[in-house]
């Protein structure tokens, strides 16, 4: 008989911290990742801690320094409909619009999107399919089908909002038994597809803080079908122009167990004029910076090619946006 998880609805952040410290417990945001995983036997947690009953996690507010805070349990649908957020942060809104379908976005939370479990075509399969394979790292075994030479799981972080929040320079409020701390969005990811978050037992995300002067940015995504599908690759690029300098953030997602910042491309495009040669050079740096494995819907060569294609498309769009604002690209 299938064991059902206990669903607990705490009312304070302290209760959440206490509950998620217990072994076998997980946060329940909107459940659009947890429930399908449960159905396929990929989630075996004993307790689900629902966030939606904790007021701090369900609000969109402004802090004392004028920065927008989005509670982790706010749904993607509510963020899109917010009168200010979509206008002030179109990069984030475009990433949210790319997640699944409107029905799922109305249930899915932003915290759940950042933390959703990693995916791999050797694991995200019905139990009968998986029963033909010996367990891999992520299922408690000692090897990886996607990367046989690897000593760790390389399952994919497929979040669409993660690259956008990294490119925006957003910070995450992490609650723990010793209080809270703010971390950079990229620091949420460990680089190991099995335990892909750096959160320790008892730690969870309460809110996301957006910068009060958002950079100009573009999000793009490549997937098998025009809607519903998870990304085979996604990209977020942003630029902040100051008088004598330009700061770039260029992030590729869904290529492996963590989103990747293309530091070399950021440096190239942060320094000189964006002539076609420099633009292509920046795009080609992706070849050495990301190393997808054969665990997505399309093969490695296709994913790398798609990454360069959407990166080029996003940078060209960003250049047009800069020109429209009278900024030098």
Ligand X SMILES: Cc1cc2nc3c(=O)[nH]c(=O)nc-3n(C[C@H](O)[C@H](O)[C@H](O)COP(=O)(O)OP(=O)(O)OC[C@H]3O[C@@H](n4cnc5c(N)ncnc54)[C@H](O)[C@@H]3O)c2cc1C
Tell me the residue nearest to ligand X as measured from the CB.
112
User: Taking CB under 6 A as the rule, does residue 40 contact ligand SF4?
Assistant: no
H helix or E strand, kind and range, residue 127: helix 127-130
Does 109 help bind ligand X (rule: CB under 6 A)? yes
40 vs 122, beta carbon nearer ligand SF4: 122
Taking a C-beta distance cutoff of 8 angstroms, is the pair 237, 228 a contact? no
DSSP string, 30-85: S-TTHHHHHHTT----SEEEE-TTSGGGG-EEE-TTS-EEEETTSBHHHHHH-TTH
For ligand X, the binding residue among 13, 17, 124, 159 (CB under 6 A) is: 159
- Asked if 154 interacts with ligand SF4 (CB under 6 A), we say yes
Rounded Cα distance between 254 and 119, Å, is 9
Least distance CB 183 / ligand X (angstroms): 12
Q: Which of 32, 118, 124, 185 binds ligand X (CB under 6 A)?
A: 32
Kindly state the number of chain residues that form the binding site for ligand SF4, as judged by CB under 6 A: 14
Smallest Cα–Cα separation from 222: which of 278, 289, 270, 163? 163
Interface with ligand X includes 99 (CB under 6 A)? yes
Query: Is the Cβ–Cβ distance between 209 and 283 less than 8 Å?
Result: no
Taking contact as CB under 6 A, which single stretch among the options 107-115, 267-275, 279-287, 292-300 is the one that binds ligand X?
107-115
How many residues bind ligand X, per CB under 6 A?
31
> DSSP alpha helices (H): ranges in 148-271?
161-168, 263-271
Residues 85-144 that bind ligand SF4 (CB under 6 A): 120, 122-123, 136-138, 144
Q: Which of ligand SF4, ligand X, none interacts with 99 (beta carbon under 5 to 8 A by kind)?
A: ligand X
Asked if 30 is part of the footprint of ligand X (rule: CB under 6 A), the reply reads yes
Which tokens in the block code for residue 120? 């791999």
Q: Which two tokens stand for residue 159?
A: 């979040």
Q: Is 28 a binder of ligand X (CB under 6 A)?
A: yes
Q: Residue 286: how many CB atoms within 10 A of its CB?
A: 22
Going by C-alpha positions, the residue among 95, 49, 325, 69 that lies closest to residue 204 is: 49
Of the two residues 137 and 219, which places its CB atom closer to ligand SF4 in the complex?
137
Burial class (CB in 10 A: 0-12, 13-18, 19+), 88: middle
Picked from ligand SF4, ligand X, none, the partner binding residue 116 (CB below 5 to 8 A depending on kind) is ligand X
Q: Please give the residue ranges that form the binding site for ligand X (CB under 6 A).
A: 26-34, 36, 51, 72, 76, 99-100, 104, 108-109, 111-113, 115-117, 158-160, 204-205, 228, 230
């Amino acid at each position: 008989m299938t064991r059902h998880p206990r669903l607990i609805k705490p009312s304070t952040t302290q209760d959440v911290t206490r509950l998620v410290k217990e072994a076998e417990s997980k946060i329940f945001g909107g459940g659009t990742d947890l429930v399908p995983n449960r159905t396929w036997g990929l989630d075996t947690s004993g307790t689900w801690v629902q966030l939606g009953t904790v007021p701090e996690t369900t609000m969109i507010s402004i802090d004392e320094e004028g920065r927008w805070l989005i509670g982790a349990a706010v749904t993607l649908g509510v963020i899109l409909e917010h009168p200010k957020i979509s206008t002030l942060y179109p990069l984030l809104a475009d990433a949210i619009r790319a997640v699944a379908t409107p029905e799922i976005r109305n249930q899915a939370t932003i915290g759940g999107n950042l933390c959703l479990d990693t995916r791999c075509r050797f694991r995200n399969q019905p139990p009968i399919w998986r029963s033909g394979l010996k367990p891999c790292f992520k299922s408690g075994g000692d090897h990886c089908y996607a990367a046989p030479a690897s000593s760790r799981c390389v399952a994919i972080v497929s979040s669409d909002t993660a690259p956008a929040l990294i490119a925006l320079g957003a910070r995450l409020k992490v609650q723990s038994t010793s209080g809270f701390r703010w971390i950079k969005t990229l620091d949420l990811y460990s680089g190991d597809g099995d335990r892909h978050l750096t959160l320790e037992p008892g730690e969870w995300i309460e809110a996301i803080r957006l910068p009060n002067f958002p950079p100009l940015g573009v999000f793009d995504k490549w997937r098998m079908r025009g809607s519903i599908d998870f990304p085979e690759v996604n990209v977020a690029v942003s630029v902040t122009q100051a008088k004598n300098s330009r700061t770039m953030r260029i992030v590729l997602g869904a290529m492996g167990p963590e989103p990747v910042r293309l530091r070399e491309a950021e440096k190239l495009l942060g320094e000189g004029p964006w002539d076609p040669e420099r633009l292509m050079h920046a795009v080609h740096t992706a070849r050495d910076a990301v190393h997808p494995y054969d665990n997505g819907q399309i093969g490695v060569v296709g994913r790398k090619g798609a990454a360069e294609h959407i990166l080029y498309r996003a940078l060209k769009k960003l250049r047009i946006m800069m020109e429209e604002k009278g900024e030098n690209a």
